[in-house]
Structure 1
Amino acid sequence: MRNVLKSAVYTLYARRLAHELSDAPLPRHIALVMDGNRRWARQNGFQDAGIGHRYGAEHLDEVLGWCRELGIHHVTVFLASVDNLRKRDAGEVDNLLRMIEEVIIRRLAGPASVWQVRTAGRVDVLPDSTRHALKSAEEATRDKNAAFHLNIAIGYDGREEIVNALRSLLDAERQAGRSLDDVAQQLSADQIATHLYTSGQPDPDLVIRTSGERRMSGFLLWQAAYSELYFCDVYWPGFRKVDFLRALRSYSARERRLGS
């Protein structure tokens, strides 16, 4: 009886939040730092903390469904940084990448998925199987209706992204026959932005990080310059729809100054 009452209260609260957002300004692009998988597993009594990665991977599918319901057309998810892949225990990294291959990429590349997938990060630091899975997902979704776009940040570092964007820009200008002096004289932020992983997409309006950590960890350093930030104390696998709606309510109540 108690669980039934709790479920009913939760449902009513979620409906109230959704109603409050019905006429509110919503973000076009949300970025998610899916933090706290291992701590969630330990908190829930799992001996293998890596089990949290499976629950976290499966939960992403649900959260993307919430975004789709609300008409949020651009999502970027931070799955693993370069440091994560290099410094964490090899067994844990293997487990994380296997979950990404088996759960996230398989579902996103399936015929029922509406998301067009793009990889954001250094695929050269990934094992062959993960690189192949990401490439397959991109190819399988390339010709989908481009209404919904998902960027998968894996092997990602925000500073490296900016450096690589500058390298790509300089190489393109060199091939066009322009001198370094000409490039320096005409260089603009918009030019650099066209060489970022998210080129052609709006910058994230809202960045949500779970687990209670209050830092960006090098995520989308360029793109998130004017983003609204929302830090949620729950761990990623326990991130509920009401938590998501609260983040959107907080966003809609803010006066966006965009740098001013």
Structure 2
Amino acid sequence: MTIYISIIEVNVELSKKICAKLTSEIPSVLYDITRNINVITRWDREIKRYEDGGMRLDISLGYSGKYELTHAIKEIMKKVGDGKLHPEDINEEVIESHLLFRFEPDLVLRAGGKRLTDFLIWQAVYSELYFTDVNWLDFRKVDFLRAIRDFQKRKRRFGK
């Protein structure tokens, strides 16, 4: 499971402090659910792995889809500049190999709104979307089960 928490960057230093505090506090709060917790911030170059085993929970703090894609393009352009990659070799697989999140979710839950957020914008292209007016703070097990039941009833077409 991957959770995205938007961090509005009004001040870079304040955002870094918020992310550092959340990174240190979130895992201990969730250890009863799983110890396989990975917290990712905008300043990370890779997913930090804490423990293996059990349900994997990735928590993205401000690592938005636009930022992820911009970062991937910069890395690709650096390889082109260094002569390690030719522009004609850039394709979807090359771009995907430079993304931090390298999976395609089956279901994207959007709580508390009717619009998508800026997260997994490349990866979620064929994902099923589920919107609920229930805010995450009020999101209960029954709300999650409703989303799963709705997903089970859908016929996946993967863009076709």
TM-score interval, smaller chain: 0.7 to 0.9
> CA–CA distance in 1 between the matches of 2:17 and 2:81?
42
* Aligned CA distance change for structure 1 residues 155 and 112 (closer, same or farther; 3 Å): closer
Shift of 1:193: 0.8
Residue 100 of structure 1 corresponds to which residue in structure 2? 22
What RMSD over aligned residues (CA atoms) do the two structures have, in Å? 3.2
Displacement of 1:222 in angstroms is: 0.6
TM-score normalized with structure 2 length: 0.78
Deviations 1:159-203 (A, max 9, x none): 22111112223334555x445xxx32222111111111113xx21
The one-character-per-residue Cα deviations of 1:193-248 (angstroms, maximum 9, x if unpaired) are 1111113xx2111111112x111121211111111111111121211111101101
Partner SS, residue 78 of structure 1: strand
Q: Structure 1 residue aligned with 2:145, among 230, 239, 245?
A: 245
Q: Which residue identity lines up with residue 254 of structure 1 in the other structure? A: R
Counterpart amino acid of 1:256?
Answer: R
Task: Tell me the equivalent position of 1:184.
Answer: 87
Q: In the aligned structure 1, how far is the partner of 2:10 from the partner of 2:69?
A: 20
Whole-angstrom CA distance in 2 between matches of 1:234 and 1:111? 24
Amino acid at match of 2:27: I
Q: Which residue of 1 aligns with 2:136?
A: 236
Larger Rg over CA atoms: 1
**Counterpart-to-counterpart distance in 2, 1:111 and 1:209:** 24
2 CA distance for matches of 1:112 and 1:206? Answer: 21
Q: % of aligned pairs identical?
A: 32
Map of 1:197 onto structure 2: 100
Letter in 1 for 2:43: V
Say whether residues 1:168 and 2:39 are aligned partners: no
Q: Are 2:8 and 1:78 aligned? A: no
Secondary structure in structure 1 of the residue aligned to 2:50: helix
Q: Deviations over 1:59-109 (max 9, x none)?
A: xxxxxxxxxxxxxxxx1111123xx2328xx7xx7996587246413345x
Contact 2:69 2:99 in 1 (8 A): yes
Alpha-carbon distance, 1:116 to partner: 4.6
Instruction: Call closer, same or farther: CA 1:107–1:174 in 2, change over 3 Å.
Output: farther
Q: Which amino acid aligns with 2:50?
A: A
Question: How many pairs were matched up?
Answer: 157
What does 1:106-145 align with in structure 2 at a 5 Å threshold? 106-107=28-29, 113-119=34-40, 121-123=41-43, 138=48, 140-141=50-51, 144-145=52-53
1:152 counterpart = 2:72: no
* Structure 1 residue 139, shift from structure 2 partner: 5.2
> C-alpha distance in 2, partners of 1:240/1:111?
17
* 8 Å contact from structure 1 (residues 151, 198) kept in 2: no
What one-letter code is carried by the residue in structure 2 that aligns with 1:104? I
Q: Contact (CA 8 Å) 1:123, 1:155: kept in 2 or not?
A: no
CA distance in 1, matches of 2:33, 2:78: 39
